[in-house]
């Protein structure tokens, strides 16, 4: 079992829909990262969380440390949001990043 699990693996939605991507982990962590990768493109850091909630534009990230779970939400989704979204956690044990496999999101116009 992977230490970081993302769900769903693939998600296709219509423009305007509210999107939720989930990340569950099994290790103690000091921080969790959400990143975005466009097809053929580079990787961009969206959020780093250690508790609570952060918001940037239409993106919202939440984390529940007790439940070892984080969610990334996209409101009023747009085709330009189509990308792979990756969750990564920084383990307390060795400060290394453990990566999720990513969620491929496609937003149809």
Partner 1 sequence: DAEITQSPRHKITETGRQVTLACHQTWNHNNMFWYRQDLGHGLRLIHYSYGVQDTNKGEVSDGYSVSRSNTEDLPLTLESAASSQTSVYFCASGGQGGTGELFFGEGSRLTVL
Instruction: By CB under 8 A, name the one of 102, 103, 105, 107 that touches partner 1.
Output: 102
Number of residues that bind partner 1 (CB under 8 A): 20
By the 8 A CB rule, do 6 and 23 touch?
Answer: yes
And the tokens for 77? Answer: 């989704």
Residues 54-93 contacting partner 1, CB under 8 A: 86, 88, 90
Residues in the chain: 109
- Print the binding letters for residues 6-45 with partner 1: x by CB under 8 A, - otherwise: -------------------------x-x-x-----xxxxx
By the 8 A CB rule, do 89 and 25 touch?
Answer: yes
CA distance 68 to 34: 15
Interacting residues with partner 1 (CB under 8 A):
31, 33, 35, 41-45, 48, 50, 86, 88, 90, 95-97, 99-102
């Amino acid at each position: 079992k992977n230490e970081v699990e993302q769900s769903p693996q693939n998600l296709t939605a219509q423009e305007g829909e509210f999107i939720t991507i989930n990340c569950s982990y099994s290790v103690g962590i000091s921080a969790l990262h959400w990143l975005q990768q466009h097809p053929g493109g580079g990787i961009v850091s969206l959020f780093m969380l250690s508790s609570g909630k952060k918001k940037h534009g239409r993106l919202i990230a939440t984390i529940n440390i007790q439940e070892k779970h984080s969610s990334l939400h996209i409101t009023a989704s747009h085709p330009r949001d189509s990308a792979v979204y990756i969750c990564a956690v920084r383990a307390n044990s060795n400060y290394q990043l453990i990566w999720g496999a990513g969620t491929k999101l496609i937003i149809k116009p």
